[in-house]
């Protein structure tokens, strides 16, 4: 399951463009049962408030044990009962506070408006227009598709255990697609830059209308998208589901869409995507377009003490330390010297700063090792063979 609330927002934006719905309309106009809500401010909530997480509704209901797979995800009826049972946490349109329950209500509005189940509405409005992607609207074992297993964290003496798959039911509009990373990147590209789902004017609106997330210095939220006001500027959505963590981001101002899926509940994808974005930005800053177009990227170069990847073009090279998810925390610039070797003046003084660096290549121009001062880093195959020989 890929939690991306952008698909729900995309559906509403399409309906608004067709004149079938208005984002400033009150939610109770589409879900009559909500008119008897115990909180008098509930009647003020608009569709836009729900889409932008500014409704003031609680995040995950009265008891979110379904997120722990201790019971099935809420049905439409159960979702409505829980929403009706509690006062708002904040008055509408005052605070950006994430609410899966609010997005669950959006699914109900879509069903009532289109007079069909949510998954069928998404199929008509979105998935039918993306025939070359591997995406379904909710988990359904009868499809015959192969799904990756999700896993726990390494609680069990360092081991992980597989978790059961679960349909999102009444919260499908909040949780998102079942998809792979490639299809998700293609969906986001089409959403923000393509022509099959939204008009250029609507895409511009998505990117320009955002509100600050409560108690966050860099995060903003818009019509189903998260915006990180960092360098580089990242726009997209994260997701968490039992056994999975995902992150998909567009690196603003580029043609790069990055998706990282992990089938365990470790928060690595956010670090990885930010790191990849920083890596791409660093390469653009270091090399001209012509240099970047002919750059050589090495395999992982390994020793017992470090693992690096090198990007080489012309008289410059970048060395990225891949022993951490934050690749650019220790990126080093190497410059070619007379005699063909390189040197690095940025390395810490406890290392081999200023010493000669050689890229040893095969006849096919593939880097097979890096001689860095007195140390040699080898490609993975050679290094692992060396380690194997040492252990026998």
Point out which residues pair with 261 in neighbouring strands: 246
CA distance 322 to 309: 7
For the chain, what are the domain ranges? 6-277, 289-390
Hunting for tokens 């022993």 — which residue is that?
323
SS3 (DSSP) at 221: strand
246, 262 in Cβ contact below 8 A? yes
CA distance 74 to 60: 10
- Per the prediction, the chain carries an average pLDDT of 94
pLDDT at site 329:
85
CA distance 95 to 282: 35
Q: What percent of the chain has pLDDT over 90?
A: 89
Confidence of residue 3 (pLDDT cuts 50, 70, 90): very low
Is a pLDDT exceeding 50 seen at residue 14?
Answer: yes
Mean pLDDT calculated for residue range 370-384: 96
Is a pLDDT exceeding 70 seen at residue 162?
Answer: yes
Confidence of residue 4 (pLDDT cuts 50, 70, 90): low
Instruction: Give the pLDDT confidence of 230-287 residue by residue, as tens digits.
Output: 888 999 999 999 999 999 999 998 899 999 999 999 989 999 999 999 999 999 999 9
Is a pLDDT exceeding 90 seen at residue 202?
Answer: yes
Q: Which spans in the chain are helix H?
A: 6-17, 47-51, 76-84, 100-114, 118-125, 172-175, 181-193, 200-208, 268-286, 289-293, 380-390
Confidence of residue 392 (pLDDT cuts 50, 70, 90): low
CA distance 208 to 228: 13
CA distance 167 to 373: 56
232, 252 in Cβ contact below 8 A? yes
What CATH number matches the domain at 6-277, 3.40.710.10, 1.25.40.420, 3.40.190.10, 2.60.40.10?
3.40.710.10
Instruction: Give the pLDDT confidence of 321-365 residue by residue, as tens digits.
Output: 998 888 888 899 999 999 999 999 999 999 999 999 999 999 999
215, 283 in Cβ contact below 8 A? no
Instruction: Give the pLDDT confidence of 78-118 residue by residue, as tens digits.
Output: 999 999 999 999 999 999 999 999 999 999 999 999 999 99
**How far apart, in Å, are the Cα atoms of 276 and each of 287, 324, 327?**
17, 12, 8
SS3 (DSSP) at 39: coil
Which residue, among 147, 191, 173, 175, has the nearest Cα to 3 in the 3D structure? 175
Confidence of residue 1 (pLDDT cuts 50, 70, 90): very low
Exposure string for 91-125, b = 16+ CB within 10 A, e = fewer: ebbebbbbbbbbbbbbbbbbbeebeebbbebbbeb
Q: What letter would DSSP give residue 149?
A: P
């Amino acid at each position: 399951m890929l939690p991306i609330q952008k698909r729900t927002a995309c559906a509403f934006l399409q309906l608004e463009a067709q004149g079938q719905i208005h984002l400033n309309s009150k939610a109770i106009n589409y879900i009559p049962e909500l008119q008897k809500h115990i909180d008098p401010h509930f009647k003020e909530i608009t569709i836009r408030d729900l889409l932008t997480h500014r409704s003031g509704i609680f995040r995950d209901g009265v008891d979110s044990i379904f997120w722990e797979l201790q019971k099935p995800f809420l049905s439409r009826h159960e979702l409505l009962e829980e929403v009706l049972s509690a006062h708002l946490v904040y008055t509408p349109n005052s605070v950006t506070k994430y609410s899966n329950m609010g997005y669950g209500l959006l699914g109900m509005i879509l069903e009532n408006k289109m007079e069909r189940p949510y998954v069928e509405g998404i199929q008509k409005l979105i998935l039918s227009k993306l025939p070359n992607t591997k995406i379904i609207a909710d988990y359904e074992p009868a499809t015959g598709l192969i799904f990756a297993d999700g896993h726990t964290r390494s609680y069990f003496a360092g081991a992980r255990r597989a978790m059961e798959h679960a349909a999102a039911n009444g919260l499908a509009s909040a949780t998102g697609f079942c998809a792979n990373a490639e299809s998700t990147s293609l969906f986001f590209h089409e959403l923000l830059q393509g022509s099959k789902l939204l008009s250029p004017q609507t895409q511009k609106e998505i990117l320009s209308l955002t509100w600050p997330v409560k108690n966050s210095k860099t995060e903003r939220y818009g019509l189903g998208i998260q915006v990180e006001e960092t360098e580089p500027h990242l726009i997209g959505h994260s997701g968490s589901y039992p056994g999975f963590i995902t992150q998909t981001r567009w690196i603003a101002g580029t043609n790069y869409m990055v998706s990282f899926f992990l089938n365990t509940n470790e928060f690595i994808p956010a670090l990885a995507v930010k790191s990849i974005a920083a890596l791409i930005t660093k390469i653009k800053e270091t090399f001209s377009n012509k240099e970047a177009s002919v750059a050589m990227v090495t395999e992982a170069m390994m020793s017992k003490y470090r693992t690096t990847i090198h990007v080489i073009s012309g008289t410059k090279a970048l060395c990225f330390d891949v022993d951490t998810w934050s690749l650019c925390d220790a990126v080093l610039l190497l410059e070619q010297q007379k005699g063909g070797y390189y040197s690095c003046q940025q390395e810490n003084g406890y290392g081999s700063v200023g010493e000669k660096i050689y890229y040893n290549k095969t006849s096919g121009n593939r880097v097979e090792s890096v001689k860095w001062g007195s140390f040699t880093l080898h490609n993975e195959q050679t290094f692992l063979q060396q380690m194997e020989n040492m252990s026998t």
